[in-house]
Structure 1
Amino acid sequence: MSPRGARGALAAAVTVLVLAGCAPADLEATRAQLLQDDVRAVTQAASEGRLDAAAVLLQQLRVAVDDARDDGDVSAARYTEVSAALDAVAAQLDADLAAQAAAAEAEAAAVRQAAVDAAVAEVTAREAAAREAAAREAAAREAAAREAAAQEAAAREAAGPADTPPGAREAPGAPAEHVEDLEKAAQKAAEKLRDAAEKAAEKAREAGRGGPKGDGAKGDG
C-alpha cells in the first residue's frame, strides 16, 4: 500500500472505530465532541503527510480517552474498542514513518552517490586533461628537438665547404710580410749607399781643396 493509501486507511480507521456507533450510554456527549476534534486533528495531519505530528496528536488522543475512562465518560467496552483502534492507527503510523524515513534515506543516499559520481567524473576529466596536456608538451618538445637538429645539420652543411683550417687562412698573408721585409732591407741598403756616396763626395771635396794649397806652398819656397 502506498503512503497516501495508508494515510487514507488511517483516517478512516480513526473515524469509524472511534466515533461511529458511539451510543450515548457508551460515551458522554461533551467527551464525544472533544474526542471528535482530536480525531480530526490526527486524520488531517496524517492526510497531509505530517506523520510525526499525527503521531503526537494520536498520543494526545490516547490521553484524552484514558481521562474519559477515568472520569466515567466512556464505558469499558467502548474504551477497549477505541484503544484497539488507536493501537491499529499507531501501528499504521509507525509503518508510514518507517517508510518515510527509508525514502528520505534513499533520497539522501542517491544525492550522496550523485555527488560522489560527479567528483569521480571531475577527477577523471582532470586526469585526462593532464595526460593530454603532457602528451602535447612532449610532442612539442620532440618537434622542437627535431627542428633544432635539422637547423644544426643545415648550418653544418652550409658552412662545411667554406670552412678552412686557421693555418690556411694565415698562409695568404705570408708573401706580403716577405715583400715588406725585402722593402725594408732595400731601404736600408739605399740609405747605406747614400751615406757612402756622401762620404766619398766629402772626401773628394776635401782633396780638391787640399791640392791647390800644396802647390802654392811649393811656389813660395
Structure 2
Amino acid sequence: MSEAHIYILSGLGVDRRVFNKMNFKGLNVTYLDWIAPLPTESISCYALRLAAKITTERPILIGLSFGGMIAMEIAKIIDIKQIILLSSAKGNNELPKLYKLISMLNIHKFIPSSVLKSHHILSYYFFGVNLKEHKMMLKQILQDTDSKFLAWAIQQILNWKNRTIPNNLIHIHGSRDRIIPIINVAPTFIIQGAGHFMTVTHAKEIETIIIRIINENQCHP
C-alpha cells in the first residue's frame, strides 16, 4: 500500500459517487465528506473546520471542482505533500469573468435552488454528459444536493479570492469543460474531449494519471 495518505474532496454538493469508476486499490484514501456550513461562514473558515478532519501529516489532497477550491484553502492551513485539482481552478483568475458579473449583480440570489437542482438538456450540456447512465447519475446527484449547502457554496465560488498557488500542485482539466472553461485555465494535464463530469466520463484516463503522480511521489518524499 502507498505510504501517502490521500484525502479526496468531491465537487459542489456531490459525494464519492463521482469517483466510483476509479480504482484506488492499494492507495490509502479517505473521502472528506462535506459538513454543513455555518451562517455567513467564509470559505477560509469552512476550510479550517474541514481541515480538522485530516489526521495525518503531509497528506495529498485531491479536489474536484468546488472541492479543489476548498483544497486550495486547506493548503494554506496545513502542510501538504501535494495537491491535485480536477475540473477546478487554482485561483479566482481562472474562473469565468461571467461569475464576477453574476456576483456583482447578485443574480444568483434570485434563482430558486429548485432550478439549480433540476436536470435538463442544459445541465447535461454544461456538465458534458451524453450517455444515459451518466445522465442518470447526474440527475440523482442534483436531486440529493442540499439546498442550503448549494446556496452557500455558490456564494463562495462567486466571491472567491485566491492568488496563493503552492509549488506542489497538479491540475487536471477537461478540454471541453463548460463550467470552468479551459481557456481560463493553465492545467498540467488536459483530458481531451472531457467536460466537467470527467471523473465519470473519463475515469480510467484520470485514474492512470493520478496513480502515476502518487507513485512518483513515493520516490520524492
TM-score past 0.5 threshold = no
Greater strand proportion: 2
**Higher relative contact order by CA 8 Å / sep ≥ 6: 1 or 2?**
2
Q: Mark the structure with the bigger radius of gyration.
A: 1
TM-score norm. by structure 1 comes to 0.20
Judging by fraction of residues, say which structure has more helix: 1
TM-score (normalised: structure 2):
0.20
